Structure formats: C-alpha cells, structure tokens
A and B are shown apart, each in its own frame.
Chain A
C-alpha cells in the first residue's frame, strides 16, 4: 500500500476543507498537509450554494443583532459562546475572501453590497449574484494552489480513519482512478466532508452529499450531536428538489398559494406588505416557511402537479433587468429545467431537504472528543445553528470554522508524535480488507438502488417537516432492517478502475448509519423545536426537559445510544420566537424592559 506521511490530513476539499488547508499552510509552511477528496475540489457541494454569506457591515447593524438572530433562529439550541465567536469573525473572513479575489457584488462606490435574508434583522448577506458558493469555492480552491505544502489527493475516497493510542492519526483512502489504497499518516485529522441530505428522497443536495465524515467519526466513537434537526428549504423545484435561493425572497419575491394569496400572513408572519420587511412574511426563517407550506397543503390550497403539491414563487414584479443582474442562475434554472421565464410566470416550488444542522460533536475550537480529530462545516456540530439554521450563516461558518479547525489541527500536529508506521499499517490493511470484501467474492442479493430508495422514502415519511411518534418508530425499525439487509448488498462491478458502484455501496453504509442517528435522535426528542416539529403529544417546546443537545453514540450494529448534553447559554435566555409584527412588538417590549432596568 502506498503511504504518505503528513502532519495534518484533511478529509473533504469543499469550502471548509480548503479554508482549513490554507490556514495550516499559512500558520506553518513546514507542516505537510494531505487534502483528500472523493471529487476534484471544484465539484464539492459548496459550489451549489446560491444566496450568500453573513457578516455584519452596516453602521446600523451590530454583532449583537447577528447573535440574537442566530440564537433565536436556532430556537435557543445554540452554543452561545461559539455564536459570539462566530459573529465576531464572519466579516473578517468575508474580507479575507475578497482579498483572495472573490467577486462579491458591489455598490456603485466600490464597497461590497449586502442583501436581506430570512430571519436576519438587518441586511448583512454578502453575495456574488446568486452564485455565492460557486465563487467562494473557486476562490478558495484557486488560492490554495499557491501553497506548496498542500498535497492534494483528488478523487480519493476515504474508507476509514486511523486511530491509535486513543487519537486520530490519519486516514485510508481508495484512489478512485486505479482502485489502489493509500495510507495517509498524520498527527491530526480534520473532517470537512459536508452534510448528509441525500439520505432523504427530495433534496437540494448533490449526489456526493452522503454523510461520509459523520459516519467515519461516529464509527470511532465520536457522538453525533442534534442529528434530528434537518432543514427543509421552502423553495425547491418539485421532483428534483433543486434549489431556488432564499435571495429570491430577499430581493422581494412573493410566495402565494393556488388562489394567488400570500398565505404566510396566516401563520404569524404578517402583515403582508408590498416590499420585503426583514424577519417577516417571505423573510421569515426556513423552518416556519416550510411548516406553513405543510398546512396550506392540508387545507387544499396548493397547486397539484406530477411531483406533488406546490406553491408559487412569484418574481414577476422584480422585472427582467433586476432578475438577470441579481438572480441569473435562478433564471437559468427556471428556463432550462422548467421552461419558465420568471419575469413572465411564477415558479412552482415546494420544500425539500437542504441542510443537516447536527453533526460531529466538536467544541468551539472544532476539536472532537477524540484527540487529534477536528471537524468543520456542515459535517460538524460546532453549535451555531441550533435547531434551525439561518440562511447565509453556513457559508460564513465554513470560513470561520474552517480556519479555526486548521489552526488548532496545526497546533496539535506540532506538539504530537506519530505512532510507529507498522501499527498504523496493520489498521490500514484491515480497512482495505473490509472495503475489498464488498467487491471480492460478493454473493449479495440486495441491490444498492433498492436499499437507497427505501432508506430515502422511510426518512421522508418518518422525519419530514412534521413528525409523529409512531411514524418515527416505524422509520427506526425500517432502518434497522435496512442495515441488516445491507450486509447482503450486491455489487456487480468487480473492476478496479473508477468503480463507482463500489463507492456507492460504501456510501450507502455511511448513509444508513447517519440516517439511523437522525431517526433515533428524533424519536427521543419529546418536544417540538425549530426543524423538529411533532404533531403528537409534544407540539410545544419544552425547555424544562429538552433545552439539551442530543448525543447519538454508535453501538455497533444496533441503533445508537442516546444521551443529552447541556446547552451553553451565556446571555440570551430562552424566549419566544416571534416574527412579523409579533416579533417587532416583542423586540420593542424587551428594549423597553432593558431601558427600564438601566434607569437609575
């Protein structure tokens, strides 16, 4: 087996992985970095992010506002000290990207422009038209090319981590082009493999978003935190689930039902006004908007099509010119995929799974409980999203915490000694044998596509926008059964060169474990909070019993063991999550109260 000796190994080369790699390279050029990705970096799913990245810039905005929006948006399940750090470093990271060439949209005077986004009190979303993720990813990738200490392992599929002496010491990967295995020794490891949205049926995610890194850490005993919180994005293409950015609404788009009525005003988000008001109506948070869709559907006020119910995203009043300038990709998607000119007709949309709020348990330094193992980006749970992420916080997250992970992994690597290669080699050989057993002498009977479809369907039934105890229980049972059947998974392709069927089989193994962590975590949370909404006996938030993080710890072949951890509350105690006019009234009341408190 080929061996590469690195100081820091980074698994995943999307926004977070690249930012981490650059951080290590800048911190200490002597540290050797192995950057491992199952695709070429520019294919990573960061590329598909559209709307933008949050960072306070306007004079009438403040870090405290960003903090408040984020914590309340997350329904108080955020680590408040980590959110403090986050909001204080977003803008600096956005400026850093600007210095590296990111083509942020500008104001006439040459300064960076910002736009409104859901759940954000003041405009603070930096954007590059509606291709923000694309530009951020390419900027980071191209910038990374100048650092000779980064050795990339493009199209190398990670099959296991090396853990020796109770700490992470590297990874084992398949070189996809040849089918050969590579052992990458490292003194610290950063996981930055993104989310797991593909465990659901209708989703906005690319095919590669299969929770690989989450499953890798989980298998080595690292808990997955808050996995029940899965975000449905309210405006997606029926059938494919492709995303129409929240920026459509930030720019002034309306959501209307089959009668042309702006139905969000019926769900505590009003009043309906002709121009967007922040944190109201179409600029409410994603969980609330997806839930409102569900009720409209129940009331029979949606539009029925071949891919189920939909509502209309109406952008006509923005006009051709503004649409082309601010939302060019949205126009392209609507026209090429649906034959709709958004300047002339509304776009049918429905919610689809978009983002995994939970992930690998890490502290504010991106360190997991396993020494030497760090995680950043969507695969991690650093604690800023709580029970519901606000749009434009995740693109900032990959930069802020990509850097934190890189910095801390570099420090760890500088003080750590590597284990003798022979013991690591033994582990790598075992990982190779396990992976190869899927293709050598495979006598399986279960087709990958069948298992995958059944997994996605049961996740959608049990862990959708609204959840029921017995449905979730059924999903948990079905996932246990699917994991059993997975032991007999069938792989037809026995070749070595670019064997994608083999990789799909390994990915499915990752997905089933992550799905199980989600479903069992959901079943056990007996309350409703953020993206986890129950329609049975637990319709309300229950701070007395569930102002807690869920921790799912692997128990081998069986379902995870569930435990709970405390939520760090520094200065914003749980309050009512109110939007629209009700939200403004609540803000005014709390302002009056704090003024009263300050009076002599």
Chain B
C-alpha cells in the first residue's frame, strides 16, 4: 500500500511528503542534488527509494530476530558484513534490537555515470529499542542523518554502504 502510494505520488512536484498509512513512516523526497553526475531517471529514483525504504524493514527484522540471512534481501558488501557482525555480537550478548523508522527525509546526491552506484542522504527519525532477552534495556527516539550507497542487483537495488553521520 505504502509502495503504491509512493509510486503514485512520485510524479507530483517534488519536494513532497507522503502521509503514511498506519505504522508506516512518513517519507519526504527532496529533488536530487547531484554533483554534476548523471541525471536520475524518474523510474530509477522510484525504484531506488522503494528498495531503500524496504531495507529499513529488513534491518529491523534481521536485528530483532538476530537472523543474518534476512539481510540478503536488502544489503550487500560492507553494509551486509557490518550488520551481520552486529547480529553475531547481539547473539553472543543475549541482545536483540528494534529499529522502527517514523520518518525519512531523503535526497539523492550522486548517480554514477555508468549507473553502477547511487548515493542518498536520509535524515531519519526512528526508535531504537534494545532488549536483553525479554527485558527492555532502552527505548529511545533517534534523529540521525544516514549516508547510503546502493548498487543494482538482479531485480532490485541493495544497500552497500549504510552509515549514520553527524555531518
């Protein structure tokens, strides 16, 4: 539903805000501000953002269930390795975590000339919940800027770099 809303609204004048369905994050997409690189076709922009938003759900599921195999749907390379390593650490410590996004403010900032990578900046409001077995250790709202690089795979874009940034 969210994806359909998103795709349908994408043709509208940017920037725009989507009023999310229940329990879905709101998504605001700024017009791309590329570094003189290749322009992003609308269809590509829609696909990239759809797959990136899906990666947050994948992240939440994988880190909540401590299931590294769940990462494969959305993550690859360094991002996947780091998240999988966290899952190993969480498992060893008896922890699991929830990352629930409430809003995204997105902007594509680079599309490589040959089309093999795309970078976006996302300012995210989310809740991080840390649990030691069944006990909630912390549940805190977070406001962070993420730098994300995605690369195309067979049928979707997958996140290769996923890094929160203070800059």
Q: Are A and B a genuine interacting pair, yes or no?
A: no
